[in-house]
Structure 1
Amino acid sequence: MTTQTSGTARPRVMVTGGAGFVGRELVRTLRPHADVQVADLLRYGTPDWLQGDLDGFTFRRVDIRDVDDVRSAINEFAPDVIVHLAAIHYIPECDADPANAVTTNVTGTVNVLSSCPRGTRFVFASSGAVYKPDEEPHRELTSTVEPVDIYGLTKAHGEAYVHLIAADRDLSCAIVRLFNVIGPGETNPHLLPEVIAQLRKGPETIELGNTWPKRDYIDARDAAGGFAAAALGKNAEGVRVEIVNLGSGKQHSVDEILSTLRSTVGLTFEVRQDPKRVRAVDRPYLGADISRIKETFGWSPAHSLQDTLTRLWESPEFVPGLEDRLITRPGN
Structure 2
Amino acid sequence: MSIAGKRALITGIHGFTGRYMAEELQANGYEVIGLGSQSSEDENYHQVDLADGPALCSLLAQIQPDVVVHLAALAFVGHGAAEAFYQVNLIGTRNLLVAIADCGKELDCVLLASSANVYGNASAGLLTESTPPSPANDYAVSKLAMEHMANLWQGRLPLVITRPFNYTGVGQADNFLLPKIVSHFRRKAEKIELGNLDVWRDFSDVRALVQAYRGLIEAKPLGQTVNVSSGTAYSLREVIEMCKFSTGQDIQVEVNPAFVRANEVKTLCGDNSLLRSLLPGWKTPALDETLGWMLKAK
Q: TM-score w.r.t. structure 2 length?
A: 0.90
Cα offset, 1:281, TM superposition: 6.3
Rounded Cα–Cα distance in structure 2 between residues aligned with 1:196 and 1:272: 16
Distance in 2, Cα, partners of 1:70 & 1:187: 28
Structure-1 residue corresponding to 2:164: 178
DSSP-derived class of the 2:246 partner:
helix
**Cα distance in structure 2, aligned partners of 1:249 and 1:296:** 15
RMSD: 2.1
Aligned partners of 2:242 and 2:288 also within 8 Å: yes
Write out the 4+ residue segments of structure 1 that deviate beyond 6 Å after TM superposition: none
Distance change (3 Å), C-alpha of 1:85 and 1:188: farther
Q: Which residue of 2 aligns with 1:145?
A: 133
Partner of 1:112: 96
The CA deviation at 1:33 is 2.4
State yes or no: 1:39 paired with 2:35.
Answer: yes
Aligned to 1:204: 190
Note if contact 2:119-2:135 (Cα within 8 Å) is conserved in structure 1. Answer: yes
The answer to whether the Cα contact below 8 Å between 2:173 and 2:179 also exists between their aligned partners in 1 is no
User: How many equivalent pairs are there?
Assistant: 292
TM-score in terms of structure 1 length: 0.82
Task: Report if aligned partners of 2:22, 2:32 keep a CA contact under 8 Å in 1.
Answer: yes
In 2, the alpha carbon distance for the partners of 1:79 and 1:188 equals 34
Which blocks of at least 5 consecutive residues in structure 1 are unaligned? 317-332
Instruction: Tell me the SS of whatever aligns to 1:197.
Output: helix
Give the match for residue 125 of structure 1: 113
Deviation at 1:10, TM superposition (A): 2.5
Find the counterpart in structure 1 of residue 146 from structure 2.
Answer: 158
Show the counterpart of 2:14: 19
Structure 1 position 194 matched with structure 2 position 183: no
Post-superposition CA distance 1:91-141 (Å, at most 9, x none): 441xx111111111111111111111364321110111111432221111x
What secondary structure, in the 3-state scheme, does the structure 1 residue paired with 2:170 have? coil
The answer for the alignment partner of 1:64 in structure 2 is: 50
Following the alignment from structure 1 to structure 2, what is the Cα–Cα distance between the partners of residues 89 and 173? Answer: 22
**Identity rate, percent:** 27
Shift in alpha-carbon separation, 1:209–1:302, aligned structure 2, 3 A:
closer
Instruction: Give the 3 Å change call, closer, same or farther, for CA 190–282 of structure 1 in structure 2.
Output: farther
Answer with 192-201 or 252-261: which moved more: 192-201
CA 1:158 to 1:299, structure 2 compared with 1: closer, same or farther past 3 Å? farther
d(CA) in 1 for partners of 2:295, 2:193 = 18
Equivalent of 1:253, from 213, 232, 235? 235
Q: Cα 1:231–1:25, aligned 2, differ >3 Å: closer, same or farther? A: same
> In terms of mean alpha carbon deviation, does 118-127 or 170-179 score higher?
118-127
Task: Map 1:241-280; keep pairs closer than 5 Å.
Answer: 241-279=223-261
State which drifts further: 18-27 or 201-210: 201-210
Deviations 1:19-72 (A, max 9, x none): 111111111111132111111123xx86xxxx66x5xxx211221122122222
Residues in 2 aligned to 1:82 and 1:276: alpha-carbon distance in whole angstroms: 40
Could you say which residue in structure 2 is the equivalent of 1:101?
85
> Could you tell me how far apart the structure 1 residues matched to 2:95 and 2:264 are?
31
What letter is aligned with 1:158?
A: M
Q: 1:112 to 1:281 in 2, by over 3 A?
A: farther
Aligned to 1:232: 218
The match for 1:286 is 268
Question: In 2, distance between residues paired with 1:14 and 1:273?
Answer: 43
Structure 2 unaligned spans of 5+: none
